[in-house]
Amino acid sequence: MQWLLNLPTVLWRRLLLILQGLWALLWLIASGIGALFGSGGTIASRLGAAIGGAAGQRHVFALLRLLQPNLVLNRRTILAYPNNGITAIASRHADVTDILTRDADFGVVYAPRMEAITAGENFFLGMQDSPRYTRDTSNMRLVVRRDDVPAIITPYVTRAAAGVVAIVPGAIDVPQALTQPVAAGLLDQYFGTPGPSEAAIAEWTTLLFWYLFIDLQADPDLDARATAAAARFREWMDGHIAERRAAPPKDDVLGRCLAMGDAGLPGMTDRDIRNNLIGLLIGELPTLSATANLALDELLDRPQPFAAACAAARAGDDATLAAHVFEALRFRPLNPIVYRRAMHDTVIAGGKLRRRRIVKDSIVMASNLSAMFDPLVIPDATAFRIDRPWETYMLWGYGMHACFGAHINRAVLPALLKPLLAQPNLRRASGARGQIDQAGTPFPQHFHLEFDL
C-alpha cells in the first residue's frame, strides 16, 4: 500500500519535470531569437554567451532531464585526457550519484596531468581506490584535522576578513583585496606553505587548478605556462621543506607532516609530503576565492535573499548566513560537471527506459549542477530556499573523490563573506566594474563593490 500513498508525490514530481523542461525549451527558443536579432559579436557567440551562463546551463540541463537524461554523443569533448571520442552526459540526480559512487566502473582521469605537475608522482585525487589511495588520504587526514576547523581555520579567516574590510574606504575589489589574500593567508598560517609571495602562490595554484580541471581542450599555451609554474612550485616547496626541517618544530600541516616523516610512516618522505601538499594547495586557494565571489554575485542578483543574507551577517546569525551562501552556490557551483572515464563496458540507469550502454574509455560527464535541480529528488527545485538539508548540495563533487577540503569550505566561505555582507548598503560598483571580470582566466579576478561608511 505504500506505493499507493506515494503515488500523488511521484506524479507531482513527474509533472514538475515536464514543466521544467517545457519552460527551458521556451527560454532556449527566446535566447535563440535574441541571438539572431541581437548586436555585438556573431550569432553563435551571442547564443553561446546566453547558454553558457549559469541560467543557460540550468535550462539546458532541465531540457536534458526531460528528453535525454543520459545523452551519448559520438564526439570527443575532452582532449586533455585519454578517451575513445565518445561522451555521455548524465543529468538526473539518481544517475549522477550512481556514476560518482561506482568508482570501479567510472574512474578519475587526472593522473597524467597530476604526474606532470609533480614530475612523476600521482596525487590521491587522481587515484583509483587502492592501498596507495587509502594510505595517502589517511596520512593527510591525520594532519588536516576536522577539529582544526573551529579551533584554528575559522577564527583565522574571521579575523583576516574583518581586518581587510575594516581598512577599505567604502570600495573593494573582492578577489584582489579579500578572497585571494585571505585564502593565501590560510596557506601560510594553517598549512605552513606561504610560497615565496602571496602573488606567486596565488598564480601557481590558480594556473595549475585551471590546467588540471578546466583546460579540457589541451591548450598548448596553457600547458607551457602550467609546466613552468609547476617546476617553480616544486623547487620552492623542496627548499621550503628543507628550511623547515632545520627550524624549530611548528604545529601546522607541514610541521605535522615532517613529524610523521621523522617517525618513519610510509608515504611521508619529503617527496611524498611535497607532492601531497602541492595537490592540496591547488585545491584550496582557487576554490575558496572563486566560490566566494560566485556566491556573492548570485546573491546580488537576488534582492530579497541578498538583503536577508546581509541582515544575518549584521545580526551574527551564522547559520542563516551560511544557508544563503550555499543556496546561492547551488545556482552557481564552481564546477557544474564532474567528469570520469569508463573503465570497461558498462551501463547507466540499468533497468530503466533511460538506460544507456557506455563503452570502455568513454568520457562520462555527471552534472552535479543538474542533479541539484532535479525535481524528482529536490523539492521546489527552482526556488531559492534556505531550509534545504545539507545533503542537497553537491558543490564539491560526490562520493570517494569529493573535495578533500569540503569541510573547510563549508565553514570558511560564510566566515570569509560575513564582514563584507555586514556593511551598510553593500552594492555593485557602477557599470562593468560591478560585474565579475575573469581577466582571461576561468576564475573571478576583479569584482568591485561599494558600501556606505
Task: Indicate the average pLDDT of the chain.
Answer: 94
Kindly report the CATH number assigned to the domain that includes residue 418.
Answer: 1.10.630.10
Quick check: 438 pLDDT over 90?
A: yes
Residues present in the chain in total = 453
219 and 174 belong to one structural domain? yes
7 and 107 belong to one structural domain? no
Residue 333 near residue 369, CB atoms below 8 Å:
yes
Q: Which of 11, 41, 67 is the last residue of a domain?
A: 67
Cα angle vertex 136, ends 134, 137, to 5°? Answer: 65
58 and 195 belong to one structural domain? no
173 and 266 belong to one structural domain? yes
3-state secondary structure of 77: coil
381 and 411 belong to one structural domain? yes
pLDDT at residue 387 in the model = 97
230 and 287 belong to one structural domain? yes
The CA distance from 313 to 292, in Å, is 15
33 and 121 belong to one structural domain? no
pLDDT at residue 393 in the model = 96
pLDDT at residue 226 in the model = 97
The residue assigned the cell 560566485 is: 294
Q: Which of 67, 90, 113 is the last residue of a domain?
A: 67
pTM over 0.85, yes/no: yes
Pairing mode, if any, of strands 338-342 and 363-366? antiparallel
159 and 298 belong to one structural domain? yes
Calculate mean pLDDT across residues 181-197.
96
pLDDT digit string (tens) for 295-328? 999 999 999 999 999 999 999 999 999 999 999 9
**Distance in angstroms between the alpha carbons of the first and the last residue of the chain:** 63
pLDDT at residue 210 in the model = 96
pLDDT at residue 11 in the model = 85
pLDDT digit string (tens) for 225-274? 999 999 999 999 999 999 999 999 999 999 999 999 999 999 999 999 99
Specify burial of residue 338 (Cβ count, 10 A radius: 0-12, 13-18, 19+).
buried
The CA distance from 401 to 391, in Å, is 16
The CA distance from 354 to 359, in Å, is 16
pLDDT at residue 9 in the model = 76
204 and 320 belong to one structural domain? yes
Strand partners, 340: 364
207 and 301 belong to one structural domain? yes
322 and 265 belong to one structural domain? yes
pLDDT digit string (tens) for 17-55? 989 999 999 998 888 888 888 877 787 787 788 888 889
360 and 392 belong to one structural domain? yes
Q: Which three cell numbers stand for residue 234?
A: 616544486
The CA distance from 398 to 407, in Å, is 13
Calculate mean pLDDT across residues 86-101.
97
Q: The domain containing residue 131 runs over which residues?
A: 68-450
| Number of domains comprising the chain | 2
Q: Which of 44, 67, 90 is the last residue of a domain?
A: 67
